[in-house]
Chain A
Amino acid sequence: MTPQELKDLLRGGAPTGCFLFCGEEGYLKRVYLRQMRDLILSSPEFNTFNHMVREGAEIDLAAVADMINTPAFFAEGKLIEWHTADLSSLTEKKVEQLLSVAGTCTPESGTALVLICTPEGFDPGTRKRPSALAKKLEGAIHIVNFEKSTDAQLLNWLKRHFEHEGVKAEPQVLRAMLSRCGHSMDVLATETDKLTCYAKAKGRDSVTEEDVRLVCCSTTESDAFGLTNALLDRDPPLAYRCLQDLAARRVEPTVILGQISRLYTDLLAVARLMGEGMGRDAIAAALSMNAYKAGLYMQAAAKRKPEGLARALSVVAKADLTAKTTYGTSQYAMLDALVAELSVL
């Protein structure tokens, strides 16, 4: 089931059955869960009895079965939520138990059971090729995969948010927001609030790119490989932003230097093996490297001369020596200078 299909289902009124929310977009999981609460929990005075919330990696299926069997108290239906579930290592027996429990969430029971998984807690696979577990569950459970939204979806969503607040935002303003704030819907929602308040406080009914620059926090969406990927792609501005992000998170400069050093050592080794006529799989085997990574490094090495890589490695070695033998220098400043030097090699 897609989020849109869930939306359509909720238009029909209070849902019953077993739902499994998975995927990375936690913001959307919360939005749809709130809609389900609004639909199902229509008598606030009895919510204590009809709204059951539990959490934990392992679902206590016996307890859930008990909750389902308990009739709703002076209400049409009840909602059971199980948060932070991890179904990634369910045994065959547990899968059978889960299916059996899910099967009891019938319209007659008036129960909606929502299992909210962590992003790593359930792999739904893709729509065309669902995972083995998703195939087993899909008959009895509505699996809703909340994937990360695309840029186009986010731009539309931002536009609707501003319109709802009575503030105009041109497409270039929305794109500037994505570029500055990143793609997290949680972050974008708070930044939209800030921009709306700022514009209204200034007596305006529209936000500008300048407002975005002044009010929104810049976010660098760097992962563990952000800096090395930026260096691989020869993208110094992104490399600086990643470095700034690592410094802000107080990642040890020696760890960062280690990453850079490993990158250029591997690149030089790949370049030399390519020079000997070796292919991707042979290089991957020779360097005990993942074949995908070897492919990426081959592409990057092909764009560089081996002597340039050797020079880059000697620059890294020099920086490493300086970091380990000089007292009182700012190691982050030294890394800044190193990135500057590497970007011209």
Chain B
Amino acid sequence: MGNRIPVTVTVESRQTGDDESTVRQQNCRGYLVSGQTVSLTYREESEEGEKSYTTLTREGEGIRLHRAGALQLDACLVPGQSTRCVWGVPPYSFDLELCCHVAEMTLSPMGGRVLLDYDRLLAGDKARLTLDIRVAREEVSE
């Protein structure tokens, strides 16, 4: 296992569906793990105080998105492909279909960016989600 590098993460998520568009931006803390590949883990907190942890890892042509905590999800997003997964909001769970348009990850131990753009089909409703995640290495003070 590689070393954990503390980072600050800015997550901008845009959700578009039925002529409505919502944009949310959140700054959170996380860490990069650098080994054979680089993975990013960060913690988000909703306005209600529910916490969820997201880990993004490159997997072949795509990016594996793993969420744990108040929101649970595990899916590999590959551009041009659809994937089925389960979206968990304990104690409830929902079947979800994701169709990925863009999955780019340019991370190095110094930071970088992850861009995910995908359609989400949930209970017959379609929405487009764009996650723009910018990662910067935390300054280390003496």
**Which chain A residues have a beta carbon within 8 Å of chain B's beta carbons?**
186, 190, 193-194, 198, 214-218, 248
Contact = CB atoms under 8 A, between A and B. Distances in A.
B124 interface: yes
A189 to B, nearest CB: 9
Interface string B87-112: 00001111100000000000000000
Given A194-B94, A216-B95, 7 more contacts: A190-B91, A190-B92, A193-B92, A194-B92, A198-B123, A215-B123, A217-B95
Nearest to B94: A217
Nearest to B86: A217
B105 to A, nearest CB: 20
19 contacts: A186-B91, A190-B91, A190-B92, A190-B93, A193-B92, A194-B92, A194-B94, A198-B123, A214-B123, A214-B124, A215-B94, A215-B123, A216-B95, A217-B86, A217-B93, A217-B94, A217-B95, A218-B95, A248-B86
B10 to A, nearest CB: 31
Contacts of A248: 86
Q: How large is the interface on B (under 10, 10 to 19, 20 to 34, 35 or more residues)?
A: under 10
Nearest to B92: A190
A214 B94 CA distance: 9
Q: Specify the main secondary structure of chain B where it touches its partner.
A: strand
Contacts of B123: 198, 214-215
A-B complex: 8 closest residue pairs judged by Cβ atoms: A214-B123, A214-B124, A217-B95, A217-B93, A215-B123, A190-B92, A190-B91, A194-B92
B124 to A, nearest CB: 5
Interface string B13-33: 000000000000000000000
A191 to B, nearest CB: 8
B127 to A, nearest CB: 15
A204 B11 CA distance: 37
A186 B86 CA distance: 17
Nearest to B121: A214
A193 B86 CA distance: 17
Contacts of A186: 91
Contacts of A190: 91-93
A241 B86 CA distance: 15
Contacts of B94: 194, 215, 217
Most buried by B among A214, A216, A248: A214
Nearest to B124: A214
A194 B92 CA distance: 8
Nearest to B123: A214
A29 to B, nearest CB: 17
Nearest to B90: A190
A222 to B, nearest CB: 16
Nearest to A201: B123
A208 to B, nearest CB: 12
A190 B86 CA distance: 15
A190 B91 CA distance: 7
Contacts of B92: 190, 193-194
A143 B92 CA distance: 32
Nearest to A194: B92
Contacts of B93: 190, 217
A190 B93 CA distance: 8
Contacts of A198: 123
A325 B94 CA distance: 38
Interface string B104-142: 000000000000000000011000000000000000000
Nearest to B93: A217
B66 to A, nearest CB: 12
B80 to A, nearest CB: 16
B54 to A, nearest CB: 19
B20 to A, nearest CB: 16
Contacts of A193: 92
B48 to A, nearest CB: 18
